[in-house]
Amino acid sequence: MSLVADRPAATFAPSKVMNTPITPAPVSDDSSAGQPAFDRTYIQIQEFSFYYGAAKVLHNLTFNIPERQVTAFIGPSGCGKSTLLRNLNRMNDLVDGIRHEGDILVNGHSIYDPLLEVIALRKRIGMVFQKSNPFPKSIYENVAYSLRVAGRNGKAELDEVVEKSLKGAALWDEVKDRLNESAFSLSGGQMQRLCIARAIVSRPALVLADEPTANLDDAYARDIMDMFRAFNEVGVTLVISTHDQDLINRYGGHKVTLAYGKQVV
């Protein structure tokens, strides 16, 4: 199952690359799978280096990321963890003068395949940023927005997806009676959970989160990590960047430590 297999160059089928159902698939009896369901590799970083102009900011990184777990890129500010995270959905392509060496494979397919449509790739990956960035719209419309952009405006569908996404982000009970209020009326922790709800509307198999707990108090940070663990249980792979090693130590998971753009083993 390859992106380059006998099909038009303009076509990219995200279902063949990232559209893993959000409900976990049954464990295969095929011995060639070779690994338990929650230990299989989902992302492969292969001798990956990255440059902003002449500045090399990531140095020959090679490691695997397991599926259905929380993997944390850990390190101080400036170590390259956010840059690496944003390469997983090629957001860094929007920056002038960048280039890379090596490769990144998601579910066995290179995200740098010349036949891959980058916008389609990004649509299949949820993204949560360090600073909560709700749209200047109602709580409801923040979640429904991407569906409306895709031309899906049926009220019944929108209501169902908004409710499911807010429940998935552990926010529904707090906002179900105020969906038409501005998103800016929410607290900081609630706004971050609203952004998470927005990120899971498309039922992604992979969610990236850049310092998702950095601006939250400890209670809200625990809520976010509990939510991420719940996502793992229904088949979602999480990759986050953080400088909070204590938080990750408490929750376990897979850790990749970076310093000066290099992996610390």
d(CA 104, CA 110): 6
- The whole-angstrom separation of Cα 205 and Cα 217 is 28
- The CA distance from 50 to 97, in Å, is 11
For tokens 């090693």, name the residue: 245
Q: For position 45, what pLDDT does the model report?
A: 97
pLDDT of residue 38: 55
* Distant-in-sequence, close-in-space partners of 177: CB < 8 Å, separation ≥ 6: none
Q: Is there a contact between 240 and 209 (Cβ–Cβ < 8 Å)? A: yes
pLDDT at 123: 83
Question: CA 112 to CA 91: how far, in whole Å?
Answer: 12
CB-based contacts of 163: which residues, under 8 Å, 6+ apart?
A: 172, 176
Query: What tens-digit pLDDT sequence spans the chain (265 residues)?
Result: 333 222 222 222 333 333 333 233 333 333 334 444 557 999 999 999 999 999 999 999 999 999 999 999 999 999 999 999 999 999 999 999 999 999 999 999 999 999 999 988 888 899 998 888 899 999 999 999 989 988 889 999 999 999 999 998 889 999 999 999 999 999 988 998 999 999 989 889 999 999 888 878 888 888 888 889 889 988 999 999 998 888 888 887 899 999 999 999 8
Decide: 128 and 209 in contact? Cβ < 8 Å.
yes
**Model pLDDT, residue 3:** 32
Q: What is the pTM of this model?
A: 0.79
Residues linked to residue 254 through DSSP beta bridges, in sequence order: 71
Cα angle for residues 136, 124, 78 (degrees, 5° grid)? 70
Residue 112: its pLDDT value, please? Answer: 96
As a whole number of angstroms, the distance between CA 149 and CA 206 comes to 21
Task: Give the residue extent of every domain in the chain.
Answer: 14-264
In whole angstroms, how far apart are CA 242 and each of 70, 205, 211?
12, 21, 5
CA atoms of 11 and 3, how far apart (whole Å): 9
**Topology annotation, domain 14-264:** Rossmann fold (3.40.50)
Closest CA to 237 of 226, 245, 224, 228: 228
In angstroms, the CA 194 to CA 134 distance is 7
